[in-house]
Amino acid sequence: MVSPPLIYVLLMLAFPMGAIILFSFWTQEFMTLDTTFTLANYREIWEKPIFAALLQRSLFVSGCVTLVTVILAFPVAYFVSFHVAPERKSLWLFLITIPFWTSYLIRVFLWKVILGYNGVVNTGLIKIGLIDEPLTFILYNVNAVIITLAHAFAPFAILPIFVALEKIDRSLLEASQDLGESKFTTFFRVTLPLAMPGVVAAVLIVFIPTIGDYVTPELMGGAGGKLVANMIQTQFLALNNAPLGAALAIVAMICVTAISLLFVFLNRRWLRGRS
Amino acid sequence: MTGLIQLNGVNKYYGDYHALRDIDLTINEGEFFSLLGPSGCGKTTLLRTIAGFEGVSGGVVMIGGRDMAGVPANQRPTNMVFQSYAIFPHLTVAENVAFGLRKRPDIDKSTAVDAALDMVGLSGFGHRVAHALSGGQRQRVALARALILKPQVLLLDEPLSALDKKMREQMQVELMRLQRHIGITFILVTHDQEEALVMSDRIAVMFDGKIGQMDDPETLYRRPKTRLVAEFIGKMNFLDAMVKDADITVDVQGLGTCVIAPEQAPSGVTLGAGAVGIRPETLAILFDGETTDRETIQGTVAEVVYYGDMTYYDVTIAGIATPLNIAMKNLIGRPVLDVGDATTVVWDARSLVLLPAAA
């Protein structure tokens, strides 16, 4: 007997996955698909520097987005957990989801309006006389991609950190102070270590989807801000080279898996001793 | 004599709620002191003001002659064993015990941790993680973690309430032995009157943010000053009474006229309506073949509660509104009576305590 969930998983996950893996070992000869098994695509990715460079840039951008997002999310989660009255907490969490009320695409376009050449930031700064001509390093490059993605993923980072902070028994903080630590050192000796599972979860939740994101780099990245996902799209559609695109997707996936496993391993270490 | 800990006129408000009312308290060095009371009476709040987790709204808290106003918890010479034990889940037993030593370079870490674990009977547990410990072991880790810092005062917030009965009794004895051994002041918060009686040198019974009575266990048990205290500590029968003169000649409902010793009555006796209290174990049932030279009165058994070593009887007596509760040891040859049996009850005026009339 095959159960419905298994059929569902096979159809929705395993089948497309298998197709991509299969494609990556084939080659495209102009209009025809050559189905002889070959490692030619992987060899091409290994040998042409453009692919390594794109992958490297993708990892760098995702790393920066993750770092910025988690660092900005932690104080928000901390504030809601420790300084908001219990009956108001759900309201605050609700407010944090407000950005999701509009579509991702519209939020990306809004950032274009904010960061653009004649955008809110530049006209504002010129008006108050801080700058003479518009800043150009905030749109159509890697910085713009990082800003947009960090904003888009902030709630995803806030929630797991909030949950981890909520789970901390407050008497542990009192115990730390009772044993001689100040509120400041208590944060580093008790609060932060106990919040680490939430931080690691936030890192994974932000890092994994951003590395494959292609809408934001497409719209905000300009020529120098394109990432590996854009290249995969180009291979599949514009260049009609699905096998190379598939191989590229597999390589990107292997990178993400390796880095995620590292974090899962770190999380295990932090979870040591927690029931 | 000034005590190690002195509280003068301490008040605490939470908004409109008056949690502590004019608390005056002196706790001596080396004393095992208990704060006893029902939940919500302010005993934990009082402990937390001593620890420094709560400020006072008025009054002075002094420890070792120093005013503690504005001194945060991490700078007070007190350490606390929390009700939940508050063992750090991300650290091992040894790391938990050594937690406070970072700020105490005067204490050698490895020898002190070993000694502290040894003291609480957990030698060799240092490498274990917190969640692998039982309730009793967590309690011991919490004790070792506090005592390693050699505080002047150890504060214990209902430390035994999470343990089962056997473990609780064992820990009571261990805590007493530990306190006698290291000789520092222990302040225990508990709602368990038996625990307080067993362990303490002195007990303050609290109701509604006030101290109802502060005495050693025996005085507290034998001579409660108010009905509230008498009711909270142990069991007690209350009889309406009428005080007739200043020599404390009292007409007791159902028992007749008798004289109560001055130490069994509040100072400055008011004539008129009052009450007397009698502990169940100071009454007795006269079994067949037993004789007594004390007062007797006839009654009928209304209820029998058998505990194994003891049997508690409720005996109805003509002229007394509620049946008297009587505790009898189940000695050899004594039968357990049945409901409805006629009995002779033995009482003694020496065991009567004069109390103010019920409010």
Quick check: is A40 in a domain?
no
Quick check: is B123 in a domain?
yes
CA distance B167 to A169: 24
CATH at B90: 3.40.50.300
Question: Quick one: pLDDT at residue B359?
Answer: 56
Please check whether residues B108 and B15 belong to one and the same domain: yes
Torsion of CA A160, A162, A167, A169, to 10 degrees: 150
- Does the beta carbon of A170 lie under 8 angstroms from any beta carbon of chain B? no
Question: Quick one: pLDDT at residue B107?
Answer: 87
Q: B353, exposed or middle or buried, with CB in 10 Å at 0-12, 13-18, 19+?
A: buried
Question: Quick one: pLDDT at residue A160?
Answer: 95
A194 CB neighbours in chain B (<8 A) are 89-90
CB neighbours of residue A223 within 10 Å = 7
Please check whether residues B306 and B190 belong to one and the same domain: no
Gap from A67 CA to chain B (nearest CA, Å): 24
Gap from A180 CA to chain B (nearest CA, Å): 4
pLDDT 10s digits, A55-75: 999 999 999 999 999 999 999
Q: Tokens standing for A188?
A: 């580093």
CATH at B313: 2.40.50.140
pLDDT 10s digits, B291-341: 888 989 999 999 999 999 999 999 999 888 899 999 999 998 888 999 999
Domain housing B126: 5-222
Last residue of a domain, one of B174, B201, B222: B222
Asked whether the beta carbons of residue B89 and residue A194 sit closer than 8 angstroms, the reply is: yes
Quick check: is B179 in a domain?
yes
A275 CB neighbours in chain B (<8 A) are 89, 131
B84 CB neighbours in chain A (<8 A) are 169, 171
Question: Quick one: pLDDT at residue A11?
Answer: 87
**Which single residue is written with the structure tokens 């009711």?**
B231
Q: Answer positive or negative: Cα dihedral of B158, B163, B167, B168.
A: positive
- The pLDDT of residue A273 is above 50: no
A158 vs A224: which has the higher pLDDT: A158
Residue type, B247: D
Quick check: is B270 in a domain?
no
CA distance B201 to B31: 6
Quick check: is A67 in a domain?
yes
Q: What is the domain count for chain A?
A: 1
CA distance B149 to B146: 6
Rg (CA), chain B: 24
Domain housing A223: 49-271
Quick check: is A212 in a domain?
yes
Quick check: is A41 in a domain?
no
Please check whether residues B29 and B145 belong to one and the same domain: yes
Asked whether the beta carbons of residue B74 and residue A181 sit closer than 8 angstroms, the reply is: yes
Low-confidence ranges of chain B (pLDDT < 70): 1-2, 358-359
Gap from A2 CA to chain B (nearest CA, Å): 40
The three-class DSSP label of residue B65 is coil
- Does the beta carbon of A174 lie under 8 angstroms from any beta carbon of chain B? yes
Question: Quick one: pLDDT at residue B356?
Answer: 84
- The pLDDT of residue A275 is above 50: no
CATH at A152: 1.10.3720.10
> By C-alpha distance, which of B133, B129, B128 is closest to B162?
B133
A182 CB neighbours in chain B (<8 A) are 72, 74
CA distance B202 to A192: 42
Question: Quick one: pLDDT at residue A264?
Answer: 84
Q: Which helix (H) or strand (E) segment is A42 a member of? A: helix A40-47
Percent of chain A at pLDDT exceeding 90: 60
Quick check: is A9 in a domain?
no
Please check whether residues B194 and B292 belong to one and the same domain: no
Quick check: is A3 in a domain?
no
Interface ipTM: 0.84
Quick check: is B163 in a domain?
yes
Which of B79, B86, B91 faces A171 most closely, judged by CB atoms? Answer: B86
Q: What is the domain count for chain B?
A: 2
**Which single residue is written with the structure tokens 């910025």?**
A68
Question: Quick one: pLDDT at residue A137?
Answer: 85
